[in-house]
A and B are shown apart, each in its own frame.
Chain A
């Protein structure tokens, strides 16, 4: 039986893992490769690395980091953060990334989704959709949550699927870092509107939250960062809990 995936996410700034609340107030969480190896051993199903470095030689340092990760881990991993072109993706894949995630660039130029899936296959194109609730309407926001758009979240997800996105990584900005639980409603709405997998992100604080997002939210995978980095929840323990709830996970 296909299992629900647990995906730790590592936000990378200048080669170090960091984690903030609602995308600000960053604190350090250690060496990304060491953390990645630890997560592999603990039974993570995939990993996501989001590079939030803004310096000019970002590309080069990111490529080096990706290569180091690829050398050390034996599960799929996605790399995102500031990807703008086929060329950017090509460099990351050559260095061993399995998938890439795009966000702002895809909103600005939806054709990029098409170009990437035509060049590399849709299996490696993860569309990150950051959403925020504006008076009951879930809309897409960009630039790490700072810029609102007029895109309706579900419409955008459907369009991205048509353009060739392979998966949707859905983050609720209202929930991210709060530990109050995932955005269940919008996760369910999008997951039942598209046929590609949806990875829910933002708000995980307890094991119940994961169980909720898989059952009621119908997410295919769930992503979290700080609760794993700071060992508030251990992946093994979480999987044992989910199994007890009759949710299929890789033991």
Chain B
């Protein structure tokens, strides 16, 4: 299977490569538009800051490539947020696939960022096939996508938020499936089997 991981200036993506290797898939990291758009599956990872990530994507026309993708595409963490309409993080206009706003957590009582394992409540969906309600996934984030019509899993931290979104061939997860033990591996496998 031809799996491409979109290369952009977004932190450490080695974990994703290693996770795919563990389930037997050698993925290539690339910013070559043709290669990305001819792949069977596209993974859009990312940790980092929204505005600089969007700027980088635009400079390399990766924004248009992502929007025109017809194959299954999975945004992870910042990847999910960039697929939304806009983000409060430096007031960034994002890709607008999901009709959802990205907000910052606000609380005096809770630690921000949320770091660690929290449970997800998925609605029946091919990405979460075989994943039971309240399965634990690993999160690291200060911003979250609101609940909306594209929400396919929700999680609560300070407030309810979308831990996964879906529209057509576009999927996004706020947690890190590559670091979420067996649950994460199952979700990655489900994605690769779409």
Contacts and interface: CB of A to CB of B under 8 A. Distances in A.
Contacts of B114: 2
Listed residue (B11, B47, B117, B185) with the most chain A CB atoms within 10 angstroms of its CB: B117
Contacts of A4: 116
Interface residues of A, dominant DSSP: loop
Interface residues on A, range: 20 to 34
Interface in B43-83: 47-48
A71 B113 contact: no
Listed residue (B21, B138, B139) with the most chain A CB atoms within 10 angstroms of its CB: B138
A220 B116 contact: yes
A123 B115 contact: yes
B155 to A, nearest CB: 9
Nearest to A196: B111
Given A98-B179, A120-B12, A71 B118 contact: no
A118 to B, nearest CB: 10
B123 interface: no
Contacts of B176: 76
A98 B12 contact: yes
8 closest Cβ pairs, A-B complex: A250-B117, A250-B136, A121-B11, A70-B18, A123-B140, A2-B118, A93-B12, A76-B179
Interface of A: 1-5, 40, 45, 70-72, 74-76, 93-96, 98, 120-121, 123-124, 166-167, 195-197, 220-221, 250-251
Interface of B: 11-12, 14-15, 18-19, 21-22, 47-48, 111-119, 136, 138-140, 156-157, 176, 178-182, 184-185
